[in-house]
Structures are given as structure tokens and as C-alpha cells.
Chains A and B, each alone.
Chain A
Amino acid sequence: MSLTAQQAAVPPVSVAPVLEGRGLTKYFSVKHGRGIFPGTARLFAVDDVTIALAAGTVTALVGESGSGKTTVARMLAKIINPDGGAVLLDGKPVPHGRPRSYARQVQMVFQDPFASLNPIHRISYNLVRPLTIHHLGGDDLNEAVEELLRRVALEPPQQYTRKFPHELSGGQRQRVAIARALSVRPRVLLADEPVSMLDVSIRLGILNLLADLRDRDHLAILYVTHDIASARYLADTIVVMYAGQVVETAPSERLTDHPAHPYTQLLLSAAPDPDRAEPPSLAGSGAPPSLITPPSGCRFHPRCPHAMAICSTTAPPSVTVGPGHASNCWLHVDESRRVPDHPDVVAAKASSTSLRPPAAPPPIGTTQMRRTEEDRSME
């Protein structure tokens, strides 16, 4: 990995994004209630998320399980269609469905390299297939495959082409999966937890490979992860998600050194850190809320140690708190401007957006119970 490129990580302010998701919203219908006639409810996995990926940068999407980070990545890859919002490639809305021209530019790497490669075919077949589908192979498919393997540092490539996926280690398999994504010469790589299934000692190798692709090939990379330390290591920008919404966006070192949102502060206080001199004190408690009946106002307010009256009634705006650093939190809004929505407005909003269920009253301290109800309904 080139040291200079990583250190010169400046927030991509003026760079036009290659791929952008604007106001992405996705809900899933789930069974709700018990008995022989259970109703259905809408689970808002992702709610109004805007994210931009610029060429030559890594953007990390960080959040706990259920925060919607993978759903955002899948919507950007057009594996699933958003229920609201738009995906823009080079500023232009992409056509409906998942046309081949789109797949050629945006590729995805999945979490589990044991499941994402076809086990009954050799590595060469797994890599030749995208080449033939997209008519990119040229005259010498073997040479193209070997070149791909060299790009992901599987050398000598002849040693790997005739092998089956089960003959490779987890790290090697993930490299093959990345090579497959690179085979169509994409401009955007969406990596969904690419290292969480791998052994600790080989994770850095994959992260460094992604950094290389950013620096050498100028790819725009989305790195979805729950590990904030690895996000800090690899990414230029970190986007933190909570309960389906973006809560904070900042250049990665700034985010970990000066977190502005209470949820980011909670995450950082809980992350393992051997350098810590004293045992950590958790900045908040409880569990993420149910996404079927999310808390009104700010979704984090039932767990937030700094919650104010306005937090439970009105969703906070995105506030710029520094260069490239935005936080969705009322704490960063001037006191005079913390005007709660009028109750009528809240009611009107709730009824006008027919997709949304009426907001539940703030049930402080009962989040665990409500999560359980959600679990129950999912069964």
C-alpha cells in the first residue's frame, strides 16, 4: 500500500462522485403479531440514506447488525431495488433493473468467500465467466485470467487456475472473489464485510489489497463493516449508520478522534482497544430499536445520555461540524434554532407519508422489550 496516498487522505469535497445514492429507502414486509391471522408490518431497513462514492477513495459504512449497512450496499449494486430515492451513476439516474452495462461499472464483493464462489467449478472457470458474459476476454482468456490473479497477488497464477475453491484458504478465496469483481474493469467496488469471515492474521492483506486498488486503479470503493478500527485504517471517509439512518459522516481519523454524534461515541467506547489505560465507561446502554415502530424524533434518543426534549419529537437535521464532517444531532444545533415541529405538523407528516406507520411514543428503557417483540414477529 502506498503510504502517501493513505496519509494524504483528504475529504473528497470537490470531487464529483462516481456513484451516489440519494434518499435511499427500503422496507421489508414482515409478519407482525401472533395467532393464525398475523398482520404484516413494514420494517424500515433503510430510511432516507444519502451516500456518495468518489473515484480513488474508500468510503466505509459502519454500523451494528441490523443498521441497514448491507441493504444500502445491495441497493447501490442494484441487487435489490430501493422503495424510495435514486441511484445515480456519474450524476445520471441509472435505468430500472440491473442492466449489464451497470454491472460492468459497479461490482460487489460479498462477505462469505466460501459461499460466493461456485464450488463445482475451477478458479479459471469462475473468472472466465464474467469475461465471456461481458465480451471482455479478448483472444487469450488464459492470459486474462492469469493477469487477474496477479492483480490480487495470487502468484504464480498457474498454481491457482486449475484449483477448486475448496482447495484454497479463506483469504485466497476472497482474493479470487475480488479478482472476479475486477474482471469487468469496474469503476466502483462494493465490498460487504470482506474480511469478517477471515482469520485475523490475513485480514490486513485483503484491506491492503483494497487500498492498492484505490491508489493504483482509482476505484471508488465502499467498505461495509462493523469494525470501526479497520474502517479507520482503510477508509478516507467513514459513514456511521444507526437503525437505518446515517448519523455521522466524517474523514476517518476525524471521526474516530473527535466523534460528534453520541452513537458514534458509544460505538467507540465499546470497541476493543488495548491501549486504553482505564476500563471503558459505556456512553449509553440498551439495544437498537425495532425498525417496525422506530422511536419518534431521533432514533437514538431512548439510549442517548444527552437526550433533550426536542430529540423525542423531531428528527435532527444534518449539521456541519467541521470540514467534511456532518452529524445528525440536535446537540450541534444552536439552542435558538432547536424548534420542535408543531404537533400538527408531526401528525400531518405521519399521515401524509403513507408508507410509514405512526411514530410510537418514546418508550425510554423499554427498547429491549420491543426488540424482543420484533424478534418474535420475525419467526
Chain B
Amino acid sequence: MSEMSPPALAPRTPTHSSTREAEPVLEIRGLNVDYGFGTEAVHAVVDCDLVLRRGQVLGLAGESGSGKSTLSMAAIRLLRSPGVITGGEVLFHPRPVEGDSSDPTIDLLRADEAELRRVRWSEISVVFQSALNALNPVITIGAQFDDLLKVHRPHLSSSERWDRGVELLEMVGMTGDRLRSYSHELSGGMRQRAMIAMALALEPQVMILDEPTTALDVVTQREILEELMGLRDRLGFAALFITHDLSLLVELADEIVVMYAGRLMERAPAASLFRAPRVPYTYGLLHCFPPMHGERKPMEGIPGSPPDLRALPSGCSFHPRCPWAMERCRKETPVLTRLDASGREAACWLHSGGATVPAELAMVDPGDRGPSAATRRVAR
């Protein structure tokens, strides 16, 4: 792996540099999720902290079984048994109401059914991978919009609800007459568009997109993502975008969090993560996507395979596959810690305790001014 060349460095301006300062809308703190109980329990999510800021697209990348979907489903309490949330808090900050000085923040993990009902869909909506399974097959798209608006917007009349449905479908690039269609009458791309329209119906502040385009063709995927990003700019919702396709996320997200075996490994602005990964797993994952340009070179991917959560390796769970693993990695589990002043975080022992950082993990961060501490350490 060390023979691989780093991705070519080219200037790239971060698209939404101001988002770092935006206030948080969803904060996940120390979230722990198990499957099963007692000694049999499998720890699917361990001590995860995430902050989603207003208007931001936060990418959550990881392989299957890394816990990325479990994390998001647990955060909005949609986790099915045998999943159990064993700790942490998920704070949702609604838009402040003028003249009301009380703190409206809700901890979703401690909220009762009535509070959850107020937040779900109207403030936080979800788009799943398979729209065919998410849509009701026996009633029309229009009837599903109608149901949704009848409950959440009781003041609307029947014709107003229909008009709102037409408006929403047109917003995602469909025609209003599709309200009369059943989900099986739509192509895969249109189903996903309808699902997105439904998720936007109540103007939520947060959208959780769980692999929304994985089942679609590349051209359709691109069209839907462009649509979605346009809507984000217009409506200003924040999005948590979950996918295994890191190369797509680099193009799309403002900030990316990489997950492995239930833990967060690295958090950084998208361009920084792509140009200058700091964690061996991120570095390996980036080199799993063959480039579309330039000379063809043999690539190795990451040796080994993702670990079984029932029998995790000791210490850092990536150490058996890591080319730079040290003695410490086998014994102690690294936690996500801030790297110097750049605002990015990494969970890797290579970045603490005076260890030598390999050159591959010390590339110049395009978001930085001047060489980072890590680079300087190598230069010395």
C-alpha cells in the first residue's frame, strides 16, 4: 500500500467553507447501540459524536456493517429490535421562536411518543435506499401525500392538499399527474424523486439520506443528486448523507465522517479528507476507487476483509489491515481527537505520542494555510 502514489494535488476550493461556523441543528453525543443483550451483545455503534449544522451536507461513509445506518436510525429512534440504544444523547435544536427565551432543545433519546411525533418527518425526515419498499404499494402517490398532509397540516382542505402534492412533485422534476400513479408504475428514479418530495413536504430542517441513489443508474443518480443539492440551496435544510461510495461523497458533502466497525475514524472537510487523509483506513478507502483519468496503475485496495463485529480485534479494530500498525494499536483503542488547529479529527495513534507519521498521511491539507503540524513533524 505504501507504494501507491497519493492522488494528484490540485487546487480545489471548498464549496461551503462558511458552514463550519453555522449553528448545530442535530447533535449526537456519545451514542452507543448494541444488537442483543448482555454478553451476547454486538456493539454496532460505539461512542459516536456527530454534529450536523444548519444547511450543511454531512457525509457518513463506511462499508456495509460499519454501523452507519444503525447510527442514523438510532438517532431518530427508528431502530428496530434487537437493536438497543445503550447510551448517549441526541439533541435536536428547533428553530428558535421569537419572543420565547426558553431552550427548545429536545433530547430525542429521552423524548416521549408525543414529542417524537412532533419532530419526526416535520423536522427530521428520512429517504431510504429502496423507495419501492418505502412507498405504499396499494395506494397512489397522491393518496400518500394526502395522508401525510392530513395528519400534519390539518388546516388544509382536500384541494389544497392536492395542490401542495402537485407543487412538491414539480419541485423534484416530476409532473403533477404522477400523483395518480401507483409506486410500481414509476421508474426507479421517479420513485426516489417522489420519496424525496414526500420527505420535503413538511419543510424539515434535517434530511437523513440513507444510500438514496445506490440502487439507481449513474445518470439517474447524478440527476437526482443535482436536484437535491439545488433544493438544499433553496430550502436550506441540513442533510446527513449516508453512503459507501466515498468518491461520490467527496463531490457532494461539505464535511465527511468515516466510520469503521462501529466507530468514527476521521472527520474532516471533504476536500481535506480527499487530498490529505490522516487515518490509514481513509487512505486505503480512497485508494479503492480506480481513477477515471491518468495512467493506469495497479492498486491493492485494503488487505483482509472488514471485521466480524462479534469478534472485533483488540485495540484499534483496523490494526490487522493497517500497514502502519504499531504495538500500541494492538492494545489500546484510539478515540477521535482533534488534530492541531485545523478543526479536523482523527482516531489514530499515529497522530499522538510522538509517533512518526508516514508521508502518505501527512499530505498538505488544502484547507490549511501553511504546513500542518503533522507535515512539519515528518520534515524534521
Contact = CB atoms under 8 A, between A and B. Distances in A.
Most B CB contacts (10 A, CB to CB) among A6, A9, A169, A200 go to A200
Interface in A1-23: 1, 3, 6-7, 9
A287 interface: yes
A79 interface: no
Interface residues of A, number: 54
Instruction: Tell me if A's interface is mostly helix, strand, loop or mixed.
Output: helix
Contact of B218 (A202, A204, A270, A368): A270
B248 A208 contact: no
B290 A371 contact: no
B190 A368 contact: yes
Nearest to A372: B185
Contacts of A9: 296
A64 interface: yes
Interface stretch (A82-90, A273-281, A317-325): A273-281
B298 interface: yes
A118 interface: no
B222 A282 contact: yes
A229 B291 contact: yes
Interface residues of B, number: 48
Nearest to A257: B293
Contacts of A368: 187, 190
A270 B222 contact: yes
Interface of A: 1, 3, 6-7, 9, 64-65, 169-172, 199-205, 208, 211, 226, 228-230, 232-233, 252-253, 256-257, 266-277, 279-280, 282, 284-285, 287, 368, 371-372, 375-376, 379
Nearest to B284: A201
Contact of B251 (A3, A211, A253, A272): A272
A328 B291 CA distance: 26
Nearest to B8: A275
A177 B293 CA distance: 31
A201 B247 contact: no
A229 B290 contact: yes
B221 A233 contact: no
A366 to B, nearest CB: 11
A267 B217 CA distance: 10
B290 A232 contact: yes
Interface string B209-253: 000000001111111001000000000000000001111101100
Contacts of B284: 201
Contact of B186 (A171, A199, A269, A372): A372
14 contacts: A6-B298, A64-B219, A169-B306, A200-B285, A201-B305, A202-B302, A204-B288, A233-B296, A274-B247, A274-B250, A275-B10, A284-B219, A287-B189, A372-B185
Contact of B292 (A172, A204, A256, A371): A256
Contacts of A270: 218-219, 221-223
A269 B219 CA distance: 8
B296 A201 contact: no
A201 B217 contact: no
B296 A232 contact: yes
Residue from B12, B217, B306 whose CB has the most chain A CB atoms within 10 Å: B217
Interface string B60-88: 00011000000000000000000000000
Interface string B279-300: 0000011001111110111111
A63 B190 CA distance: 20
A256 B291 CA distance: 11
Given A199-B64, A232-B290, A379 B184 contact: yes
Contacts of A65: 217
Contact of B305 (A171, A226, A232, A252): A171
A277 B10 CA distance: 8
A226 B220 CA distance: 13
A64 B274 contact: no
A76 B50 CA distance: 50
B7 interface: yes
